[in-house]
Chain A
Amino acid sequence: MERAMARLPGAAASGEDTFPKILLRNAQLFGNRTAVRQKDFGIWQSWTWSEVRDEIRALSLGLKDLGLEEGDKVAIVGSNRPRLYWSMVAVQAIGGIPVPVYADSVAEEMAYVLGHAEVRFAVVEDQEQVDKLQSMGEQVPSLTDILYDEPRGLRDYDHSHLHPFEAVQERGSRILSSRPEASAEWEAGFAKGQGTDIAVMLYTSGTTGRPKGVMLSFDNLVISARNANVFDKLDETEETLAYLPLAWIGDHVFSLAQAYLAGYCVNCPESMDTVDVDRLEIAPTYFFAPPRVFENMLTAIMVKMEDAGRTKKKMFDFFMDVARRAGEKILNGESVPAKDRLLYALGEFFVYGPLKNRMGLTRLKVGYTAGEAIGPEIFRFYRALGLNLKQLYGQTEASVYITLQPDGEIYGDTVGKPAPDVELKIADNGEVLYRSPGTFVRYYKNDEATRTTKTEDGWVFTGDAGFIADNGHLKIIDRAKDVGKLTDGSLFAPKYIENKLKFFPNIKEAVAFGHERDKVGVFINIDLTAVGSWAERNNVNYASYQELAAHPEVYRMIESNVDEVNRDLASEPMMAGAQVQRFLILHKELDADDGELTRTQKVRRSFIAERYAPLIEALYDGSSSKHVRTEVTFEDGRVGAIEATVEIRSMAAHAPTGSTQEAAE
């Protein structure tokens, strides 16, 4: 069905296969519709598609006049601003290649990327970026000229190779007024462009090694974007908020490719700090956010509800119960008793509507989350409110889309079915491979990486391990390199187990061990806020984290959580063998200052294994407690040591129950 729809005549079929060409189409088709908004000076400033065309044309001609040539790379550095998006298409119209880079990366990292990409020009947001680029000097010898959007603080700079954005547009406009035919020449210039030309280069951050420049063609982006628009029935009436980094493929596709294809409006927030308010004012119909954004919104609501009056609180609890019971079913179009339907309608008026309004999601048609696993409770909360929140799985190399959850087929623990035109297969080691029209052309100046990632016949290794469940949905387990095996041969996916544990509010962090061992053992960190507030309510006294962590009641609570995870694992044929058989609660919080976590709060598995070797040993030698001494770094930098006797518990494994999936309610 989706496939058939995807083949409907679209941009490519009618010859509009590059963004400059689609821009002209939009200016004609949606000339008076708003294409982009930016909140500036407290007001949403807006530009229609025909105004956007004029802006881009002037800039493009100006850039050409400054000496930008076909094939030149142009770095785009800054936050989500209309002018930076325009720059990308303006560069493409000359036959150049935009290279958006992460604005917050340190100068050294940025210098590597810009040097590797051999950028000639850069379009940046403000003085900060100008300073950063100028400090790179000889590391980026190819860089000649810099354009900037925000003039503040730049007045005294040497302007021989530094240009205000307006000044370059002015050059273009002057050319247009002195030679009106310049416009037609400009259009003729990119009319010869093809879908197979390189549209953009995006550098993947990559956890290991240097970033790689992913080269995506217009075909990659245009076809993927068109498919996605068809899949979710997005048209020119959508509103989105562009607030995620420009250099990230997601933003490039949601805020540029799909917006151009569908002709919808992209809204740029006033600043990074005002995103929440701006979302409320815009009320996007199509919205993407990583799980943490949804988590934060939910936490904010729950905290506010704790402070609400009794009547309000009662009403909230009552109607949230109704929503949990009926909301998801109504959203999926399943049958629901008339009474629940009526209550849900009342709830919509009293609770859900106002809540959605507070979050700026009143008009939401479809929302996506991706990047990491989202807690099932959180996911269900939004869906129960009637918000069509879905998960997707994607990569830069795939022009985002690999799998998507179709409407009505939403399962909390899978990432959906292959996106239109995408083929999936699973390698023998469990690694997921895909092939699609969005598959990248190659890595820039890195043939070796291209060879190891993409096969001759176009299959791309994702680096993630997963499997396709009976219902045809893809389930991602872990990074392929982290997946191991127990000595009895069962699959061991540490992150999969850890995530399941971490979804319990009492558990902040978990580290699972088991590769080449006979059973799975787990370290657990309790969440001091959640467990602390539980302790307060239950009159449990404690003086420190260490004391609370060792409390028998806390152990009992965590034990029941672990048991629940085991039951969950037992229901999955591939995972049943990797149930947690031993666990302990660590006597200290894992901390980036001690090198146990990365600065982005990710567990450093091998470091922890080394540091707590005696505890790991205790997990596997059957002992019920272990005395340990651990060095810690205090916040002021002093080093001290804490000693503790840590209890280790054994767990009974559940018999495999075999049933595969359970819908998210």
Chain B
Amino acid sequence: MNAIVSNLAQPVGQPKTAERDLLLRVDNVSLSFGGVKAITNISFDIQKGEIRAIIGPNGAGKTSMLNVINGFYHPQEGTITWRGEVRRKMKPYEAASQGIARTFQNVALFKGMTTLDNIMSGRSLKMHRNFLWQMAWFGPARQEEIEHRRKVEDIIDFLEIQAIRKTPVGKLPYGLQKRVELGRALAMEPELLLLDEPMAGMNLEEKEDMSRFIVDVNQEFGTTIALIEHDMGVVMDLSDRVVVLDYGKKIADGPPEEVQASQAVIDAYLGVSH
């Protein structure tokens, strides 16, 4: 057996069962807007290389949790440890450049721009030349642009959206727009990718495609993924671990099969008077 083949035979990602490094830890975090307590005293962690799902009924605080994770909200209580360092309050710019990318519940793309330009915009934080350089046709900015374009083309190839490269995204069907949004998030080469309901409003075929891409992103690029999703079938199939929120509180945390069997989760979903 030759070396190349045997090398490839080894899975590149780390085995799912082994203990992994901690990427992010949330300790006793609480967040409130005036009198409304969105998140109460929640702790969980995200390990490097896993797919972590956050689920819960409507209004459970899932999106708020994502906003806390990516630094958009700063919790009143508790700490967030990102790559081993306790995070302080950040400006949005700092939050964006720390290596966490996200997609939104409602597609938030530049509708008038093409797929290519939208994904290129995901690289803007990685462009180093100032705008004077970028105005010139020749020079280092051009070289840099070529490098970025190459990365973007990798993503276009990966997501199989070659045919819509030059199409304004506003003209695309919803399922494809979601894919472009994923592409833009990937263009940031994030360490942690947050997906807020990636399958919302999709038909079965689009869901299957999207699931495939999420798994591929995780395996091929080794990107850690945290996702919110209502489709339980998708969640149970894709994720390594699931955390369940209800009314801002954590009610379960563990592997899918364990969470599925938990009485508290069943009650939360079926509705039990509190």
Contact = CB atoms under 8 A, between A and B. Distances in A.
Interface of A: 40-43, 151-153, 155-160, 163-164, 166-167, 170-171, 270-271, 273-274, 277
Interface stretch (B4-12, B36-44, B83-91, B252-260): B4-12
| B interface, size bucket | 20 to 34
Interface string B156-191: 111010110110000000000000000000000000
B216 A273 contact: no
B153 interface: yes
Given A164-B4, A164-B5, A167-B4, A41 B150 contact: yes
27 contacts: A41-B154, A42-B153, A42-B156, A42-B162, A42-B165, A152-B158, A153-B216, A155-B11, A156-B11, A159-B5, A159-B6, A159-B8, A160-B1, A164-B4, A164-B8, A167-B2, A167-B5, A167-B8, A170-B2, A171-B2, A270-B163, A271-B160, A271-B163, A273-B163, A274-B162, A277-B163, A277-B166
B5 A152 contact: no
B21 interface: no
Interface of B: 1-2, 4-6, 8-9, 11-12, 149-150, 153-154, 156-158, 160, 162-163, 165-166, 216, 219-220
A42 B163 CA distance: 10
A170 B165 CA distance: 33
Contacts of B156: 41-42
Contact of B162 (A155, A171, A270): A270
Nearest to B165: A42
A41 B5 contact: no
Main secondary structure of the interface of A (DSSP, over half): loop
Contacts of A164: 4-5, 8
B171 to A, nearest CB: 15
A152 B8 contact: no
B237 to A, nearest CB: 16
A151 B156 CA distance: 16
Contacts of B160: 271
Nearest to A156: B11
A155 B216 contact: no
B9 A158 contact: yes
Nearest to B166: A277
B206 to A, nearest CB: 16
Contact of B219 (A155, A157, A166, A270): A155
Nearest to A269: B162
B12 A155 contact: yes
A186 B150 CA distance: 38
A159 B4 CA distance: 10
A273 B1 CA distance: 38
A659 B153 CA distance: 60
A241 B10 CA distance: 38
B4 A170 contact: yes
Contacts of B4: 164, 166-167, 170
Interchain residue pairs A-B with the least CB separation, the first 7: A273-B163, A159-B9, A41-B153, A167-B4, A42-B153, A270-B162, A156-B11
A164 B9 CA distance: 10
B150 A274 contact: no
Contacts of A151: 8
B216 A163 contact: no
A40 B157 CA distance: 8
Q: Which of A155, A157, A158 has the most chain B CB within a 10 Å cutoff?
A: A155
B222 to A, nearest CB: 11
A129 B270 CA distance: 43
Given A42-B153, A153-B216, A274 B8 contact: no
Contacts of B2: 167, 170-171
Given A155-B12, A156-B11, A273-B162, A41 B157 contact: yes
A40 B165 CA distance: 13
B129 to A, nearest CB: 22
A627 to B, nearest CB: 41
Q: Which of B4, B6, B12 has the most chain A CB within a 10 Å cutoff?
A: B4
A152 B220 contact: yes
A458 B220 CA distance: 55
A604 to B, nearest CB: 28
A180 B216 CA distance: 41
A167 B165 CA distance: 31
Contacts of A152: 158, 216, 220
A41 to B, nearest CB: 4
A159 B10 CA distance: 9
A537 to B, nearest CB: 29
Contact of A274 (B6, B163, B216): B163
Contacts of A40: 157
A129 B160 CA distance: 17
Contacts of B158: 152
A382 B181 CA distance: 41
Contacts of B165: 42
A177 B156 CA distance: 36
A152 B9 CA distance: 13
Contacts of A167: 2, 4-5, 8
Contacts of B5: 159, 163-164, 167
Nearest to B158: A152
Contacts of A170: 2, 4
B161 to A, nearest CB: 9
B166 to A, nearest CB: 8
Nearest to B149: A42
B6 to A, nearest CB: 7
B141 to A, nearest CB: 20
Contacts of B162: 42, 270-271, 273-274
A494 to B, nearest CB: 38
Contacts of B11: 155-156
A158 B8 CA distance: 9
A157 B2 CA distance: 16
B205 to A, nearest CB: 15
